[in-house]
Homo-oligomer: A and B are copies of this chain.
Amino acid sequence: MPDFAEPLARLINEFKRLPGIGQKSAQRIAFHLLRAGREEAEHLSQAILDVKDKLGFCALCNNISDSELCQFCRDPNRDPKVVCVVEEPNGIVGIETTRQYEGRYHVLHGALSPLRGIGPESLKIKGLVERIGKGEIEEVIIATNPNVEGEATAVYLARLLKPLGVKVSRIGMGIPVGSDLEFADEVTISKAMEGRREM
């Protein structure tokens, strides 16, 4: 790597720490900021700090929130009988883009991963059990990711929550819409076969 002037080298290094940004993208962004007005750089710099200073987590569902309860837990139009469990707050973003789900959420902040030392006590499961204990919740939809950790978490939660008298369901898995059978892996295809629906 060629030598950059120190402040530029440091900015490139900081950008490389972000997910999905490699050396070339980091350089491109750093050169862009160098050319941009000071105001644009200041806005970005301040927005980064504000996210750390002004945001916390919802006391009920652990979603990102700028007040004690997040926008979904505050919203009286959201059905309190259905709770969708996701690994991370960005899972909520994905589900909200559909504009079809009208229940509430619960964020685990992770998934079970014995190999990385993440057991049930590392996840925000206790709060979920407490919420169910209050008797209002009728169905828990487990929307953890369709990978080994997410599946393990789903199985664990199902065993834990069913005895509490709630319906526990798992999001459907199969061939993504707009995709091609040719490019789907065998596990996805077998899930799609299992999850077939009568027409």
Contacts and interface: CB of A to CB of B under 8 A. Distances in A.
A28 B90 contact: yes
Interface in A16-35: 17-21, 25, 27-34
Which one of A25, A47, A50, A96 has the greatest number of beta carbons of chain B within 10 Å? A47
Contact of A54 (B4, B7, B65): B7
Given A48-B44, A55-B5, A97-B1, A19 B28 contact: yes
Nearest to A25: B20
Contact of A55 (B34, B46, B90): B34
A8 interface: yes
A2 B41 contact: no
Interface in A76-94: 88-90, 92-93
Grouping DSSP codes into helix (H, G, I), strand (E, B) and loop, the A interface class, with mixed when no group exceeds half, is: helix
A33 B45 contact: no
Contacts of A5: 54-55, 64-66, 70-71
A40 B55 contact: no
Contacts of A14: 43-44, 47
Interface of A: 1-8, 10-11, 13-15, 17-21, 25, 27-34, 38, 40-55, 64-66, 70-71, 88-90, 92-93, 96-97
14 contacts: A2-B92, A3-B71, A6-B54, A15-B44, A19-B29, A20-B25, A27-B90, A27-B93, A31-B88, A34-B64, A41-B51, A41-B52, A42-B52, A45-B45
